[in-house]
Amino acid sequence: MSKLDLLLVKPGRQELLYGKLSHTLHAVEPPLWAGLLAGYIRKHGYSVRIIDAEAGPLSAGEIAGKAAELNPVLAGVVVSGTNPSASTMNMTGAAEILDALKSEAPQIKTVIAGLHPTALPERTINETGVDFLCQGEGFYTLRSLLEALKSGNGSQDYNIEGLWYRKSDRVFSNPRAPLIKDLDGELPFAAWDLLPMSRYRAHNWHCYGNIKRRQPYAVVYTSLGCPFNCHFCCINALFGGPGIRRRSPEKVVVEIDLLVNRYGVRNLKIMDELFVSTESHVAKICDLIIERGYDLNMWAYARIDTVRKKLIGKMKRAGINWLAFGIESAAAGVREGVAKKFDQGKIKKTVEMTRAAGINVLGNFIFGLPDDNYETMQETLEMAMDLKLDYANFYVTMAYPGSKLYRDAVAKGLKLPGSWHGYSQFGEDCLPLPTKYLTSAEVLKFRDGAFLKYHLDPGYLDRMEKKFGRETTEHIKEMCRINIRRKHV
Ligand code: SF4
């Protein structure tokens, strides 16, 4: 049997990241980026395996044991999710896996890829002792690296775009590789067949009304990147700057066909940072899904200023049952302070229009933005309650590497989390940024109180019971009984 070329690992350590929420509440998402990289590398003739430590769940030691058996030419950890919070917090798990690999199978070359390593390449190499690092998307870089390693010249200098590496205790870098231009033509589907598809689980709220049917679950992307540049967001660091590339609707829907027909998927997340933007793109995808008559339960992100009345009924008919809006703050000035601008008057109108089309509305809010004080945070909570959202995600402000807030925090010498898992919103070590007026502890305490106030509000529970039934409201109450431990409150 010929030697395996590439092993990709998605890191885990969910109990560090989600505490008690890790047992049932949080979603377990198929690792899209590991799947895409695997699909691309396989298309170019290399053999690939994926281990998902989160879905396993598998410890670093178990992964290293499996890697030693498989003995690939290259073992890589992919530290990417597709939202701002998903990469940095996974660095603790990633570093543990790389450590275990080095002690269990030191002959295997290692590589790391993803958003956080892209944002802090030199630091990541120095902290983890990894042999190689892919900066950026990684498709071309990983392929060229495998080609170089398989050609057998291990002592060469690597002139590979996007590659950082260590040689004689020094870190060397190359310019970034170009982005994939033709997503349809160059990227095959994610390698779903290499993933444990039966283990993935949707977010709890995504399945309100059918809370016991959170599996199977999958994700699909229709575009990569985002044209905006909010200061708290690091998503575009992976791509080198703001911008959006789209797949053709036809190709997206053929991938959905595969997920539905081969894996029995009904719960589906559209991963795009900004799905609802170009009308023709969204309309065509919806039309193609409606034609097929699938009974999907989907959710997607939208902006308050990009949802059009014309489109919304079609989205519902296609099975988009939830839209998530990044409202962030009730105070326009606080939003503008982080470059998130939209017309204040549109918030209520868009939420009502969405609800009127039968789509459930999720609001994303961030407490502790730089200009926040108690009054503005209270306004935000009151706005969320007033909007009668079906779910409210309350976040605290984190200085994610790759974001402007991170660069500002470093320049100002603000205290940042002492571990990478301290960037997890729900972990015990979570340490948000302070604001101009409030400490990190004050922000965190406000957030945890606001979450309970919103979701245990009798008016909210009553609405949820009418809409989704008793089982869902019991679930919500159960969720609120879980005590999130916080070291920094
Ligand atoms: S709109 Fe802002 S927060 Fe959302 S993905 Fe784009 S840059 Fe990030």
Q: pLDDT digits over 54-99, tens only?
A: 998 899 999 999 999 999 999 999 998 667 778 999 999 999 999 9
Question: How far apart are the CA of 333 and the centre of ligand 1, in A?
Answer: 17
313 and 454 together in one domain: yes
205 and 147 together in one domain: no
Whether 463 is in a domain gets the answer yes
User: Taking the model in full, what pTM does it have?
Assistant: 0.96
Whether 405 is in a domain gets the answer no
Whether 348 is in a domain gets the answer yes
Average pLDDT over residues 297-323: 95
Number of folded domains that form the chain: 2
Question: How far apart are the CA of 229 and the centre of ligand 1, in A?
Answer: 6
Residue 154 reports pLDDT greater than 80: no
146 and 208 together in one domain: no
149 and 230 together in one domain: no
CATH at 232: 3.80.30.20
158 and 226 together in one domain: no
Q: What is the DSSP letter of 207?
A: G
Whether 192 is in a domain gets the answer no
Would you state the pLDDT for residue 406?
97
314 and 450 together in one domain: yes
Would you state the pLDDT for residue 403?
96
228 and 349 together in one domain: yes
Would you state the pLDDT for residue 40?
98
Tell me how far apart the alpha carbons of residues 419 and 428 are, in angstroms, rounded to a whole number: 11
Q: Are 82 and 33 in contact (CB under 8 A)?
A: yes
Cβ atoms within 10 A of the Cβ of 24, count?
13
Between the alpha carbon of residue 280 and those of residues 285, 314, 432, the distances in Å are: 9, 12, 39
Question: How far apart are the CA of 274 and the centre of ligand 1, in A?
Answer: 7
Domain end point (choices 152, 172, 192): 172
Q: Atom 5, ligand 1: which residue's CA is nearest?
A: 273
Which stretch of DSSP H or E encloses residue 458?
helix 458-468
Q: Atom 1, ligand 1: which residue's CA is nearest?
A: 228
Whether 418 is in a domain gets the answer no
Whether 66 is in a domain gets the answer yes
Q: How would you classify the pairing of strands 132-134 and 109-114?
A: parallel
Q: Atom 4, ligand 1: which residue's CA is nearest?
A: 273
64 and 157 together in one domain: yes
Domain end point (choices 172, 193, 213): 172
Whether 385 is in a domain gets the answer yes
CATH at 41: 3.40.50.280
Residue 15 reports pLDDT greater than 70: no
273 and 167 together in one domain: no
Question: How far apart are the CA of 232 and the centre of ligand 1, in A?
Answer: 8
Domain end point (choices 172, 189, 216): 172
Q: Which amino acid is at 411?
A: A
* Higher pLDDT pick, 135 / 151: 135
Confidence band for 395, pLDDT divided at 50, 70 and 90: very high
63 and 111 together in one domain: yes
357 and 452 together in one domain: yes
Residue 462 reports pLDDT greater than 80: yes
Q: Are 5 and 74 in contact (CB under 8 A)?
A: yes
Would you state the pLDDT for residue 153?
62
Q: Which of 244, 274, 304, 395 is the pocket-test mutation for ligand 1 (most atoms within 8 Å of CB)?
A: 274
Would you state the pLDDT for residue 83?
75
Give alpha helix (H) positions in 413-457.
440-455
160 and 303 together in one domain: no
Question: How far apart are the CA of 356 and the centre of ligand 1, in A?
Answer: 26
Q: Atom 2, ligand 1: which residue's CA is nearest?
A: 230
- Domain span at 326: 201-397+432-481
Whether 402 is in a domain gets the answer no
